[in-house]
Copies of this chain bind each other. A is one copy, B any other.
Amino acid sequence: MQEIEEKSSRSELRAIVREQLRLLLEDRNWEGVKTLLLPVQPVDIAEAIDGLPKAMQLTAFRLLSKAEAVEVYEHLSTDIQQSLIEEFRDSELLEIVNSMAPDDRAGLFDELPPRLVRRVLAQLSPEERKATSQLLGYQAGTAGRLMTPEYIALRYNLTIKEASDRIRQLARDREVSYYVYVVDEQRRLMGVASLRDVLLADLDQFLGDIINPDVVFAQTDTDQEEVARSIQRYDLVALPVVDRDHTLVGVVTVDDAIDILQKEATEDIYIMGAVRSEGESYFQSNLATITRKRIPWLFILLITNALTILVMSNFEAVLDEVVALAFFTPLLIDAGGNVGAQSSTVVIRGLSTEELKYKKPLWVIIRESMTGGLLGILLGVVVIGMVFVFLGQIEIGLTVGISLLCITIIAATAGAGLPFLFHSFGLDPALMSSPFITTIVDILGIWIYLSTAKLLLGL
C-alpha cells in the first residue's frame, strides 16, 4: 500500500480501491475486502461504496469494523444512508446512529423521511436523544443547528495543573479541538485559551489568568454563512456558540465552515447560471426535478421577451423598409447580455465575499457604467467597420455602433446596480442573475436600435 501511495497520487489510489472493491465483492472474497479497506480513509471508503451497485452496498458496509462503520456512514450520500437505514437490523441502527456526532445526526434527520426519523429516535439512548432534540430545536441554517456539543469548557478558577488533568480526562470520550473555552459558574463564556497556552503556562497559574477575553463567538441564531465567514476571517479552527444569556452551548468547527462556504459558492454560481438551487445534489435529482428547477427563469424570460416582440412589431414598417436591420439584433442582444453579465458577476461575487461590503454602491455603479462605455466604444468602432464590409452602408453601421454604445452602458449600469438594489431589500443579490438583466437590456436595446435607425435612415 505504502508503495502504491508513494508512486501515484491519492486520487489514482482511490480509483484503484473502487475498482478492486467491486471485483472482490463479485468474487465474494470477504477477507480480501477487509484487507483492501483496512488502510483506506473513511471518506474514500464511503466514495467507493457510493459507486457500487445497490445490491452490493449493504454487504460492503457490513464488512467494515464497528468503529469504521460509523465514520464511513457519515460520509455516504443521503440516498444511500437512507436505503441502508431501511435495511439495518435494530441493533445495527442503534450502533451506528448512537455513535454519530450529534450535529451529523441532526443533519441526517433533516434529510430522512419522518417515519425513519421516528424509528431512529426510538433507538437512541436518552442522553443522545436529548442532544439531538436540542440541535433540532434550532432553525436549519443557523449556528445552533450546525454546532457540536463536543468541546472542552473549563472553569476560570481551575489551576493549569487541574485543567491539564481535566483535559486529559475529557479527551477520553470526545474529540479535542485546539481550543479550551473558559467559562464562569453559570457556564457563561469568558474567554478562550489554546492548548499551546495551557502547555506553556506554569502549573500553579489559574486558567483565568491566561485566557484571551476577546473571543470571537456566534449566537445560536446567527446565520451559518456568517459563522463560516467569521471562521475564515479570523483564521479559526472552531468558533464557540452562545445562547441569549451568553452561556456556551456548542462550537462550530472549521470543516463545517469549509463545506458551507463551498455550498454557498455553488448556490451563487447556480443562481447566476439561472438554475434554482435547493441544497440537494443536482446529480442525484431526477429529470422532473431538474426541469422544475430551471423552468422558472425561462418563463420569466418568455414574458419579458413578449415585450421585446411588442417593441419590434411597433417598428414593423422600419424593418420592412430595411430588412438588413434585423441581421444585427442578435449581435446587440448578445453584447448587452454579456456586458451585463460581466458587471453583475463582479458585483454579486464582491457582495458575497464581503469584499464590497464597505465600498459605496454609487462609486461601483459609476465605475461599471464607465467600463461599459469604454467597452462600447471599442466594440462600436469594430462593428461600424464590420457592417460597412457587409453592406457597404455607413448609416446602418452608425446606427448599430451608436446603439451598441448605449446598450453596453445600460447593461453595465443595470448589471452593477440591480444586485445592490436586491441586496438593500435583503434579497439574495445573485437572484439578480443574467437572464433578468439580459431581458431588461433587450427591451431597451431594441427600442434604442430601431429608434436610432428610424432617425438616421430617415424612415
Does A334 sit at the interface, judged by CB under 8 A? yes
From B47, B270, B294, B353, A262 is in contact (CB under 8 Å) with: B353
User: A163: CB under 8 A from chain B?
Assistant: no
* Extra contacts besides A176-B194, A305-B334 (14): CB < 8 Å: A40-B214, A176-B196, A178-B178, A254-B258, A262-B353, A268-B269, A270-B346, A272-B272, A301-B334, A302-B383, A306-B386, A313-B327, A313-B390, A330-B446
**Copies of the protein in its oligomer:** 2
Answer whether A196 and B178 are a contact pair too, CB < 8 Å, given A39-B214, A301-B334, A338-B297: no
* Residues of chain B lying within 8 A (CB to CB) of residue A266: 349, 353
A148 within 8 A of B: no
Answer whether A258 and B232 are a contact pair too, CB < 8 Å, given A269-B269, A335-B298.
Answer: yes
Question: Chain A contact residues: over half helix, strand or loop, or mixed?
Answer: helix
- A232-B259, A233-B43, A294-B371 known; A331-B358 Cβ under 8 A: no
A51 CB–B CB distance under 8 Å: yes
Q: Which of A41, A177, A290, A297 has the most CB of B within 10 A?
A: A290
Within 8 A of B (CB), among A364-394: 364, 367, 370-371, 374-375, 378-379, 382-383, 386, 390
Q: Which chain B residues lie closer than 8 Å to A208 at the CB level?
A: none
**B390 to A309, Cβ gap below 8 A?**
yes
**Is the Cβ of A255 less than 8 Å from the Cβ of B269?**
no
**A362, CB-defined interface residue at 8 Å:** no
A84 proximal to B (CB < 8 A) = no
Question: Can you spell out 18 A-B residue pairs with CB atoms less than 8 angstroms apart?
Answer: A1-B214, A40-B214, A41-B214, A47-B358, A167-B199, A262-B353, A268-B269, A269-B269, A273-B344, A275-B345, A287-B370, A298-B339, A301-B335, A305-B330, A305-B334, A330-B446, A334-B439, A338-B434
Q: Which residues 301-338 in A have Cβ within 8 Å of B in the complex?
A: 301-302, 305-306, 308-309, 312-313, 316, 319-320, 323-324, 326-331, 333-335, 337-338
- CA gap between A272 and B265 in the complex, in Å: 13
Q: In the complex, what distance in Å separates the CA atom of A200 from the CA atom of B173? A: 11
Whether the pair A200, B232 counts as a contact (CB closer than 8 A) is: no
Q: Does the CB pair B268–A255 fall under 8 Å?
A: no
Given A10-B230, A327-B312, A272 and B345 contact (CB-CB distance below 8 Å): yes
Residues of B within 8 A of A331 (CB): 302, 305, 308-309
